[in-house]
Chain A
């Protein structure tokens, strides 16, 4: 069993950090793709299976809030767990993202262990075939 992960963030530096945490997590990862905003992420998701999405909120083209809302409207994609990773620690924003259907919310800056345990928690609820 191995996982396919999609990282959505407009910052190349942050994408690299998230990818490194995933690579070093010890989790079996079959593929780790990246997208620089929600619209690019949706295009990937409509072509390939993904088991977990890590997404930022503030992004150009389509922000994380609109991205998660679109995702949850699509029956083919709505069951994919989404972990939000953002600097925004305000209660309204966190509540809105969780109400939209995000499975978790990690506040930047984060310890790699914090992100890894959240990824493991969320993937714990994912049943992957193959």
Chain B
């Protein structure tokens, strides 16, 4: 699989999910600013391709996306916020893998909130975005 294809799919699928489900238009940036409070989610996938997908998002941006996703103006409970962040992780990852290879067999584990942000290395492809009320980054590593 070509890195350029993965890179393009990472950006395109993130944009499509956020635009469709949260009416948000993410703008690409070089990386997340240091020192921000972040929520982290990760999802392991198996099948034709195996690896792990990460989503890091600033708390305020996460709350903003979650409110729009749920169509609710009320204060979000912590579990609602976590559920939406996990679902967005699931949608972006699933959409991306399907886009990369429509003939693949893919199994996605349940996404989960984790304590650590996405690892940074040459094997991890990462893209960051400015979104409503903050920033987010998505990253994928194939094993």
Residues of A within 8 A of B (CB): 10-14, 16-17, 20, 58, 60, 86-93, 107-111
Within 8 A of A (CB), among B80-101: 80, 83-84, 86-87, 90-91, 93-95, 97-99, 101
- Expressed in whole angstroms, the Cα–Cα distance for A90 and B104 within the complex equals 6
Of the listed stretches B16-24, B115-123, B124-132, name the one at the interface; the rest are far from the partner chain. Answer: B16-24
Partner of A89, one of B84, B98, B107, B109: B98
Closest to B101 in A: A90
Residues of B within 8 A of A (CB): 16-17, 20-21, 66, 69-71, 79-80, 83-84, 86-87, 90-91, 93-95, 97-99, 101-110
Q: Is the interface of B mostly helix, strand, loop or mixed?
A: helix
Residues on the A chain within 8 Å of B105, using CB: 90, 92-93
Residues on the A chain within 8 Å of B110, using CB: 10, 58, 60
- Expressed in whole angstroms, the Cα–Cα distance for A110 and B102 within the complex equals 18
Known contacts being A13-B70, A87-B108, is A109 close to B20, with CB within 8 Å?
yes
Could you pull out 25 A-B pairs where Cβ atoms are within 8 angstroms?
A11-B83, A11-B87, A11-B90, A12-B83, A13-B70, A13-B80, A13-B83, A13-B84, A20-B71, A58-B110, A87-B90, A87-B91, A87-B98, A88-B106, A88-B108, A90-B97, A90-B98, A90-B101, A90-B102, A90-B103, A90-B106, A107-B98, A108-B21, A108-B94, A109-B95
B9 CB, min distance to chain A CBs, angstroms: 12
Closest to B96 in A: A87
Complex A-B, nearest 5 residue pairs according to Cβ-Cβ distance, in ascending order? A87-B94, A89-B98, A109-B20, A13-B83, A13-B84
- Expressed in whole angstroms, the Cα–Cα distance for A90 and B107 within the complex equals 11
Q: Across the interface, do B80 and A12 meet the contact criterion of CB distance under 8 Å?
A: yes
Known contacts being A87-B108, A91-B103, is A108 close to B95, with CB within 8 Å?
yes
Question: Which of B66, B71, B79 counts the most chain A CB atoms within 10 A?
Answer: B71
Residues on the A chain within 8 Å of B66, using CB: 13
- Expressed in whole angstroms, the Cα–Cα distance for A91 and B103 within the complex equals 6
Residues on the A chain within 8 Å of B106, using CB: 88, 90, 93
Residues on the B chain within 8 Å of A110, using CB: 20
A96 CB, min distance to chain B CBs, angstroms: 10
